[in-house]
Structure 1
Amino acid sequence: HQPQTLRFQFTSASYKRMQVMRFTVEEINNSTELLPGVNLGYEIFDYCSDIGSLLSAVDFLACGNSIHTGAKRACRPKVISVTGPFGSTETITVSQLFLFNHLPIVTHGATSVQLSNRERFPSFFRTSPSDKFQVQAIVQILKEFKWNWVAFIGGDTDYSRDALRVFESEARLANVCLAYQGIISVKDDLQHENVLKVINEKNIGVVVLFAHIEHVTSFLRVAIKKKVRKFWIGSEAWSLSTELVKENNIDSIGTVLGVNLQQMGPLNGLSEFIRKSLNSTQSPPPDSSETCGQRSDPNNCIPCKDYEWSSNRSTSCQNRTVVFLRYDQPVSIVLSLATIFTILLCGCTLVLFACHYDTPVVKSAGGKMSLLILCFLGLSSISIFFFIGQPSPTSCNLGITTFLVFYTATMSCLTVRAFQIVSVFKMATRLPRAYEFWVKHGGQWVIVSICTITQVFLSILWMSISGPQPFQMKPNREIVLLCTVGNYYFLYAMFTLVGLLSVLCFSFSYMGTDLPKNYNEGKAVTFCLLIFFISWTLFLTLFYVLEPKYISTIIQFSIFFSVFGVLLGYFGPKCYIIIFKPERNTAAYFQAAIHTYTQQTR
């Protein structure tokens, strides 16, 4: 026969334990205080975690070509003690071979209750306590929180079967009802699905999972796939596993409480730990029935809490997902970068206009007023940041009011500027006294101040009487954090003021379409206002169509396009002339345009 190659999985934990053993032996041999005068030797055998390979791994017991199990032996084994194997099933299997020679076997992982029987295993010793203590600790947890309707799931090993027998006995004494018990194999998904199905059908909320890591990993993967959410109590064999934590969506299975017996003593702080795990200020509710075997009527439902949801015919509640526009979301990052770019663009334009303040282009754009408009646009952009992050009373109040106040100031400046240009060419000759009064008393600044102060006054009233506040919407499985609108009448009044200024600005710009090209703001203002109207009309449309969680994003885009539209439409052409067409930015060029207009109007 051809030799057969077998493949086994490498167990890193066993390899680490072997290295610790080697290190310990070297420390003893090199020490003058630990076992002085004694040198220890060792030989390592790997049975590859396969019981069928154990016999070949214990050939150190052989005399000649066979292992003798009789009472009289012609030779003695070449070893004085055996360490391992790690598991209970493997230890029980090979310990019978050592029994005939009373060869001591010391293990650090075999915790089966069977091995405590001195009549069967007189030469067995271990450095870890029996599973009996671990099971007693688990039962004490169940008793403390009055969980008397539980399931016990174990693997097809002596480790789990022995623990199940002890658990049945201890649970009976503690009046804990074992509603279901099951033994699972490794990588048997169909079996795991059936076990989980029975657990759900029996409405069991607490599951004791007493098995080795390979059984648990396979079983919990199916639980994740089937979206089973329970309270799991894990044995020390897997509760501290770092590999299991790395499983995808492992947090979806519910709460896991691990039991570890490395340090014996009172379980101080256990109640607080469970409460923190459940995100609750109270002890976990008992999932129990009045008597063992009886369950509550599934037709008498208990409503979920406000922060929970439940699907149809479900017997448990799930936590809702909290939704708001977070800083790390792609749309927030894009809007933040776009806003910063807009603010920087306003600053650069402001510097450009300040450096060319005495040129005709800047004068025709409004002079000091154009610089003020750029400041207002930058301040309007800042309002976008108030819509990112979890809503608070401050962010809700400052979000829309900051935009409306400074954008009102912007539109009032544009409206006054459009009116002034029309007045210079048309009203100055027809109504000279009215025009003189307007210029003498700074009419443009009066109008801008009145409009801005009116908007500030409306904003203060709105926030004082019934301003926007954070609130929660709970559609389906989510908790959407938003801001209320507050008093609709004040909000409508504030938007109406902005809309009225926009209409007036457009009207004055349209009246000046026949003015000299350098003073004709019709196209620029029309472009700005078109962007403004489209943005907010689209917002009102989507407000009633899209889900509530998208409202903040829609408002941000509307604000951005409103600001950027003015910056691009009104200041863009002027910046182009200043930078690329300086020959048009001269007094002679503007006077020639005015002269041509005067000749045409005669």
Structure 2
Amino acid sequence: MYKSGDIIIGGIFEISSTIVMQDLIFTSKPGQWMCKGFEISLFQTAQTMVFAVNEINKDPNLLPNITLGYRLYDNCMRLPVALRAAATLTCGMDERILDYHCSGVPPVLAIVGDPISTHSIAISRILSLFHIPMVSYFASCPCLSNKQEYPTFFRTIPSDKFQIKVITEILKHYVWTWIGVIASDDDYGQYAVKTLSEEVQHFACIAFTETVTNVMEQMKVLYITDIIKRSTAKVIVVFTSAGDFTALINEIVNQNITGRQWIATDSWSDSQVLLEKDIFRSFGGTLGISFRKGEITGLQSFLYQIQPNSDPDNNLVLKFWETIFGCQFSENLQNSTDEPDTNFCTGLEDITTTNTAYTDVTELRVSYNIYKAVYAIAHAIHDLMSCENGKGTFANKTCANIRDIQPWQVFHYLKKVNFTNHMGERIAFDENGDVLAIYDIVNWQQGENGTIKAKKVGFYDQSLMTGQELFLNEEEIFWNFDTEKVPESVCSQNCQPGTRKATRKGEPVCCFDCMPCAAGEISSQINSIECIKCPIEFWSNPARNECVQKEIDFLSFEDTMGITLTTVALLGVFISLGVLLVFFHYRHTPVVKANNSELSFLLLVSLTLCFLCALCFIGQPTDITCILRHIVFGISFVLSISCILVKTVVVIMAFKATLPGNNVMKFFGVTQQRSTVFLFTFIQSLVCIIWLSIAPPNPVKNTMYQNAKIIFECDVGSLMGFSCLLGYIGILTCISFLLAFLARNLPDTFNEAKFITFSMLIFCAVWITFIPAYISSPGKYTVAVEIFAILASSFGLLFSIFAPKCYIILIRPELNTKKALMGRDSEK
């Protein structure tokens, strides 16, 4: 198709689907390849360029006084034909070169096309040698963004790297982490698979990757179909053209494979060939990525205005006419080797009676990109011709001459093109020759009469703020699943808070097991890789998703054990005071006076202190209670043992004093007894003072003994001081027990030595068994065992020494007389 003008723009389009190759007989010059299979729907793209050129020529504000012309070629979907078209546009149609200086205006200043990436790669390498810009409307290979290799290449379709980014954002949006990929066996498909793998590697895994070709063996089709059936991946991304995918689609439909969410790239997301097939059961709900749809006012009316003519330069129009009406023009019939057709084209047929994809302008995507490409070139030429002399951008600040304009000048201004079209879309190229990525998200839904329609349900706009580029209208999306909800596509279900991911050996990272967090560790997020250890004073809750304050464990007055021990301790205090009152009331009786009543009173007071010191071990530890519990315990018990030791010595002395000539009691009278008790108690007090001055006991929170609890306890501070305190008590106890044991058979009236021996035996037994029980008891039970030892030993001393005397005083008062005591002695 050709139209003359002051400036000519070239165009290369896909119109014919097949080609007839000439035989190579090596005896004559090969003939040209013949294009066949004229596609009516694709012819709309070439007509859109014609419409855009005519519209620009009518615009008084754009390229005034300059007429644009065009020269359009069919590439027949074959690279050799596309290269021949590009060479013709670059060098002209003359077979002989007449102007070796290449002066004057070149045949074309810019080219719109080629739509195929492979073609554009080859053509752009040639055009870049002559600095001729090429603006493609469909070649989306990211490799073409390399300005080192393709410096003069531009395009009005976004690069596939943006399309893959859109797919990645959709996968993230719906949390699809287990996907399958099908790609064509060419640079486009394999590059897409590689890029997608890199994009999703941080959040998703590819379950399988399969390759399809335009011509596939049935075994290969069955193999891929079986992979799809057996895979647990419910989401499958397809990077291929409609033609390469057709065979696999048919097999999937034949085997009635459903329950898959297909994601289509722009190469087949709105393919009319596929949308007309009966494949909705298997492919309904497909989410497709399609470049932006536009509206071109007046295009449909223009498409209806097409008329054939006999101009041989516009033979594409003739082929279109013959195809749409099923007729032939006589001039074409003469050159045809086919049998004559009785149906001749008159050129008067009414195209308005037809209803084909050629006149359908509801889905202008490719045509809209062509429209933008033509206007981008026109604006570049307009900016080139609008400069003022002395302000130009070329040598000596000159401007271009319409009679000598060059492609490199157009290329220079094309890089700076920046305008807004009738739809409010800004048209500009970045440093790679790419436009801003704007995509429509379409969804395959049921149309009228059971047909499939690609309904727009969202968009992706690179120009929007980060995080807001993708928009999906969830209410408009149809999900072709029984639940009619967003499907799940994961190898393993999400690990909930309280668990962590444990990868399976030999499987992708998306396949994992969920392991509960250990005690004391938590995970608060979904799919946590590891559990976090709680701070030292915190512990994990039962769900293992939150750290909670550890329970502070100490023996309190409120719990049952604390109440019981408090009651027993107070009972001991009352009993001790009761015995003290009884002894004070009967202080003049022989039983009380028999063994130094003063030591008995002092022993009862010390036992009362022993019972009271047990109360210091109950309740929340403080600095004061920690000091009091150990000091009162040490001093009161030393005082008790000291009294018992002195009483034992008194018994022994009393026996020795009854021997003739022995007056030993004068050396151990009441004063010496008091001094001895005071001395023993003072030594313990001195130990306590030194202990408190070096490292006194203090309250601490023990987090090492139990993980789930904080044991609030009193630390002894100086272990040496605490050992000295206990050791001193132990020494006095052993001495008392030894002396009492040796004097147990002395003829004492009340068998005081026997009672002391028995009391010391109980005392030693309690504290010996206390040691292992204290070590093995956890938490507050440690303190309970200590209290129990204090109470048990105190009760042992109280009952062993004073119970027999109280029995005589209260129950057998007749024995509490000197006469009765003397009578007992005489009996003995």
Q: TM-score, normalised by structure 1?
A: 0.49
Specify the structure having the higher radius of gyration (Cα). Answer: 2
Q: TM-score, normalised by structure 2?
A: 0.36
Q: Which has the higher strand share?
A: 2
